[in-house]
């Protein structure tokens, strides 16, 4: 198509347009007329949808293998490749496999004392790890141990969910447009925009990679439920499918309540505009509430779920919940509604994933021809409906109803189209404000744009837009081939050396302190006990993390030693990449966040708030390396390489029996 001249191109467009209209005559799902050609065409559609899903699965699996040479590296290197919280989650899958029995594995997760030192926690209540439990049980009972390693069973399951994701988007676009050609375009766009639609190839265990496929299935079920002329038995079946998809989505991601809140606002808007019936509104809300309550029960009555905003603002105030208060602090700080020195909020604000959506995202989306039809689908039909309704309203106002038609009636949008329109708008705004949320938007963006291209209303208009810059249309193809042909290998010798040393030279019950990201890897690779970890949805853990991070602040050796001993630490690991951080600018380095939270002036040239003061002690992570008497009396260096420094805590003065873990350090923010 791209190689012919302009005249031939226009003729081809006309042929495609006529062919598409013929296809629509056979594949209008609401017509109820099923000929052998309709059945054949629908069967082909399902084959195409499943094939595109499998293609996406194979694509991300190939990228993962090419990037790490996963099949050829050591087991410890494979485990190190599960970075930050991904390693923490994978460690529980590993724990389920190593348990003598399934019952004992579950018991160890319910009463865990190895994740947080000096505490026993119920991991099934605290974290969303039912997927690891399910896979661990499944691997044990299936006869696959002889030819499939546990790690491959895990990552292949996650990659297979990408196939589910694409198929769900395929169905949504098919339902909206009435043709599986829209679904095919959706799948192609999803794969071509892989950088912006998923990051599963390098964050395998991340909770969103488990939950978003089920969220896409839920959207497909809602779209089907809102279609006109659906029979009662069909409505019941779709509602049950919607409930199961919502349940799986909520059970696999801790941020489910905030996503459902946005969805509840969408339903409320549709209700206010009288685009859906009261019965439909009630059923949709009941699905949300019943799913959240089911997860609440499965997570041993987790109060964070019961007090979620998606259920009720009033309940969350009554329970005085603190587990998710850091999310609200982040929102307040992001929009300038609260203090900017809060440590927890600053940790999020300074991460690129929680910043504004980069502008180059739109360049990439335009380069694959996704952005143009998406914007047209988003804007043009809505303006058309608005203008027609204004004209009809004006004609009614002057007493001139249209001849032969009686009273002029306003044109309403289909309920399923209206839901998907509001969905893409609401989650698009969420993605613009927080980059990490773009993965909730871009996949659905593919489905909605494909509906616009393959739907009756915008077929001609969207094809005409393809006349833009031919070079833009083909530039993604070499990039796709380059990604598949580029071979790399995992290489992190310093971390491998650290994990090997910990496994061989420290007691199995030793407790380690350090950064959240590193400790998750230590838990996975060595099984040692941690003082803190990246699953940040607990107020006591957040406070302990802030205390432990004083190793990178201006503190005396006695103060740091006391904090670490109170947390139960035997060893502390310090990283040069944090102590001398250059990745972030001044004000966003971890040491700067600690200085601000402690009321100290930040390092380096630049402005400081007038109420900040000079610290009375040097920075601990730097001064401990001098081996001064005050430091060697409390800390003994037992390991070091170019990246890590490990110190063993000497036994200090014995604490009184009634001493407790210190509360939050004095907050000097104003």
Condensed to tens digits (0 to 9), the pLDDT of residues 640-667 reads 999 999 999 998 654 444 444 443 333 3
Condensed to tens digits (0 to 9), the pLDDT of residues 125-147 reads 999 999 999 999 999 999 999 99
| Distance of alpha carbon 195 from alpha carbon 191, whole angstroms | 9
Q: Which two tokens stand for residue 387?
A: 């203008």
Whether the per-residue pLDDT at 5 is higher than 50: the answer is no
| Distance of alpha carbon 553 from alpha carbon 620, whole angstroms | 6
**Is the CA virtual torsion 336, 338, 340, 346 positive or negative?**
negative
Which of 123, 119, 200 is closest to 166 using CA atoms? 200
Scored b (16 or more CB within 10 A) or e, 78-114 reads bbbbbbbbbbbbbbbbbbbbebeeeeebbebbeebeb
pLDDT score, position 397: 54
| Distance of alpha carbon 187 from alpha carbon 492, whole angstroms | 35
- Mean pLDDT for the stretch of residues 597-604: 90
**Is the CA virtual torsion 96, 99, 103, 108 positive or negative?**
negative
| Distance of alpha carbon 321 from alpha carbon 569, whole angstroms | 29
- Mean pLDDT for the stretch of residues 253-276: 89
Pick the more confident residue, 255 or 353: 255
Q: Is residue 487 within 8 Å of residue 69, measured between CB atoms?
A: yes
Pick the more confident residue, 481 or 418: 418
| Distance of alpha carbon 415 from alpha carbon 228, whole angstroms | 8
Whether the per-residue pLDDT at 7 is higher than 50: the answer is no
Q: Is residue 99 within 8 Å of residue 108, measured between CB atoms?
A: yes
* Least confident residue range of 191-195, 246-250, 538-542, 571-575: 538-542
* Least confident residue range of 70-79, 327-336, 508-517, 613-622: 327-336
Bridge partner list, 572: 513, 647
Q: What are phi and psi of 249, to 5 degrees?
A: -60, -45
| Distance of alpha carbon 545 from alpha carbon 513, whole angstroms | 9
pLDDT score, position 456: 67
pLDDT score, position 28: 43
**224 exposed, middle or buried (CB, 10 Å; 0-12, 13-18, 19+)?**
buried
| Distance of alpha carbon 658 from alpha carbon 663, whole angstroms | 14
Cα radius of gyration (the chain): 28
- Mean pLDDT for the stretch of residues 333-342: 60
pLDDT score, position 2: 36
Q: Is residue 626 within 8 Å of residue 584, measured between CB atoms?
A: no
Whether the per-residue pLDDT at 47 is higher than 60: the answer is yes
* Least confident residue range of 44-48, 98-102, 254-258, 320-324: 320-324
The one-character DSSP state at 70 is G
DSSP H or E stretch at residue 512: strand 511-513
* Least confident residue range of 137-146, 336-345, 545-554, 638-647: 336-345
- Mean pLDDT for the stretch of residues 31-55: 86
| Fold held by 493-649 | Rossmann fold (3.40.50)
Q: Which residues contact 447 (CB under 8 A, 6 or more apart)?
A: 169, 170, 172, 173, 176, 182, 183, 186, 420
Cross-sheet strand order for the sheet of 644-649: 529-530, 511-513, 571-575, 644-649, 635-640
Whether the per-residue pLDDT at 524 is higher than 70: the answer is yes
Q: Is residue 53 within 8 Å of residue 164, measured between CB atoms?
A: yes
Whether the per-residue pLDDT at 436 is higher than 90: the answer is no
- Please, how many CA atoms are within 13 Å of residue 599, restricted to the half-sphere of its CB? 9
**Is the CA virtual torsion 557, 560, 564, 567 positive or negative?**
positive
Pick the more confident residue, 537 or 491: 491
Angle, vertex CA 321, rays to CA 300 and CA 131, nearest 5: 35
Whether the per-residue pLDDT at 525 is higher than 90: the answer is yes
pLDDT score, position 18: 47
Q: Is residue 663 within 8 Å of residue 648, measured between CB atoms?
A: no
Q: Which two tokens stand for residue 651?
A: 């036994």
Whether the per-residue pLDDT at 339 is higher than 80: the answer is no
Condensed to tens digits (0 to 9), the pLDDT of residues 172-187 reads 999 999 889 999 999 9
| Distance of alpha carbon 272 from alpha carbon 422, whole angstroms | 13
- The tokens 């604000």 sit on which residue? 349
- The tokens 């402005």 sit on which residue? 607
Whether the per-residue pLDDT at 214 is higher than 70: the answer is yes
| Distance of alpha carbon 228 from alpha carbon 277, whole angstroms | 11
Condensed to tens digits (0 to 9), the pLDDT of residues 381-431 reads 666 566 655 665 655 555 544 444 444 455 567 899 999 999 999 999 989
| Distance of alpha carbon 193 from alpha carbon 173, whole angstroms | 17
Q: Which residues contact 308 (CB under 8 A, 6 or more apart)?
A: 257, 260, 261, 292, 316
| Distance of alpha carbon 446 from alpha carbon 453, whole angstroms | 11
**Residue 8: pLDDT band by 50, 70, 90 thresholds?**
very low
Domain boundaries, the chain: 1-71+153-481, 82-147, 493-649
Question: Judging by DSSP bridges, how do beta strands 529-530 and 571-575 pair with one another?
Answer: unpaired
Percent of the chain surpassing pLDDT 90: 57
Q: Which residues contact 148 (CB under 8 A, 6 or more apart)?
A: none
Pick the more confident residue, 36 or 67: 67
pLDDT score, position 57: 96
pLDDT score, position 414: 86
Q: Is 440 left (phi over 0), alpha (psi -120 to 50) or beta?
A: alpha
**Residue 105: pLDDT band by 50, 70, 90 thresholds?**
very high
Whether the per-residue pLDDT at 551 is higher than 80: the answer is yes
> Mean pLDDT for the chain?
83
- The tokens 């505490």 sit on which residue? 119
- The tokens 């059945």 sit on which residue? 39
- Mean pLDDT for the stretch of residues 297-310: 82
Q: Which two tokens stand for residue 500?
A: 């090997």
pLDDT score, position 381: 64
Q: For every residue of 378-400, which 3-state class applies, written as one string?
A: HHHHHHHHHHHHHHHHHHHHCCC
DSSP H or E stretch at residue 107: helix 102-110
pLDDT score, position 398: 52
pLDDT score, position 555: 95
């Amino acid at each position: 198509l791209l190689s012919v001249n302009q005249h031939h191109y226009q003729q081809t467009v006309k042929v495609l347009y006529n062919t598409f209209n013929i296809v629509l005559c056979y594949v209008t799902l609401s017509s109820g007329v099923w000929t052998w050609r309709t059945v054949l065409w629908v069967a082909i559609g399902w084959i195409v949808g499943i094939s595109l899903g499998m293609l996406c699965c194979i694509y991300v699996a190939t990228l993962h293998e090419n990037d790490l040479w996963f099949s050829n590296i050591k087991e410890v290197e494979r485990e190190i490749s599960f970075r930050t919280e991904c390693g923490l989650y994978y460690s529980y899958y590993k724990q389920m496999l190593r348990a003598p029995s399934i019952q004992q594995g579950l018991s160890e997760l319910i009463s865990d004392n190895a994740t947080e030192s000096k505490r026993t926690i119920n991991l099934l209540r605290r974290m969303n790890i039912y997927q690891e439990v399910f896979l661990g049980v499944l691997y044990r009972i299936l006869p696959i141990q002889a030819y499939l390693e546990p790690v491959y069973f895990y990552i292949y399951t996650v990659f297979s969910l990408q196939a589910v994701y694409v198929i769900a988007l395929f169905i949504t676009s098919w339902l909206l447009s009435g043709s599986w050609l829209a679904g095919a375009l959706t799948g192609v766009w999803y794969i071509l925009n892989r950088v912006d639609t998923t990051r599963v190839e390098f964050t395998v265990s991340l909770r969103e990679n488990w939950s978003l496929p089920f969220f896409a299935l839920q959207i497909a079920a809602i779209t089907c439920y809102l279609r006109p002329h659906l029979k009662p038995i069909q409505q019941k079946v779709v509602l049950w499918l919607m409930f199961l998809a919502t349940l799986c989505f909520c059970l696999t991601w801790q941020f489910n309540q905030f996503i459902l809140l946005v969805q509840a606002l969408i339903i409320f808007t549709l209700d206010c505009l009288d685009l859906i019936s009261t019965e439909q509104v009630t059923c949709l809300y009941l699905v949300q509430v019943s799913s959240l309550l089911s997860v609440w029960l499965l997570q041993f009555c987790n109060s964070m779920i019961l007090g979620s905003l998606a259920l009720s603002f009033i309940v969350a105030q009554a329970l005085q919940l603190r587990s998710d208060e850091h999310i609200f602090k982040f929102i307040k700080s992001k929009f300038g509604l609260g203090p900017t020195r809060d440590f927890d909020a600053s940790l999020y604000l300074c991460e690129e994933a929680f910043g504004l959506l980069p502008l180059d995202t739109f360049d990439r989306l335009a380069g694959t021809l996704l952005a143009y039809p998406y914007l047209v689908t988003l804007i043009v039909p809505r303006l058309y409906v608005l203008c027609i309704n204004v004209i009809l309203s004006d004609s009614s106002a002057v007493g001139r109803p249209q001849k032969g038609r009686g009273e002029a009636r306003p044109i309403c949008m289909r309920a399923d189209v209206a839901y998907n329109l509001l969905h893409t708008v609401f989650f698009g705004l969420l993605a613009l404000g927080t980059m990490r949320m773009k993965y909730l938007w871009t996949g659905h963006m593919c489905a909605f744009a494909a509906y616009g291209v393959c739907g009756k209303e915008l077929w001609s208009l969207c094809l005409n837009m393809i006349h833009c810059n031919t070079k833009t249309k083909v530039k993604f193809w070499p990039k796709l081939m380059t990604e598949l042909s580029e071979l790399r290998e995992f290489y992190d010798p310093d971390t491998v050396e650290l994990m090997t040393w910990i496994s061989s030279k420290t007691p199995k019950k030793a407790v380690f302190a350090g950064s959240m990201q590193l400790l998750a890897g230590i838990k996975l690779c060595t099984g040692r006990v941690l003082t803190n970890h990246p699953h940040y949805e607990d107020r006591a853990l957040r406070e302990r993390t802030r205390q432990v991070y004083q190793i990178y602040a201006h503190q005396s050796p006695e103060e740091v030693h006391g904090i670490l001993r109170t947390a139960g630490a035997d060893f502390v690991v310090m990283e040069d990449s944090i102590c001398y951080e250059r990745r972030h600018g001044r004000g966003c380095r971890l040491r700067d966040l600690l200085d601000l939270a402690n009321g100290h002036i930040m390092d380096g040239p630049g402005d400081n708030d007038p109420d900040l003061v000079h610290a009375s002690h040097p920075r601990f992570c730097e001064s401990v390396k001098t081996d001064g008497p005050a430091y060697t009396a409390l800390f003994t260096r037992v390991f070091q390489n170019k990246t890590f420094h490990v110190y063993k805590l000497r036994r200090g003065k014995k604490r009184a029996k009634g001493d407790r873990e210190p509360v939050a350090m004095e907050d000097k923010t104003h």
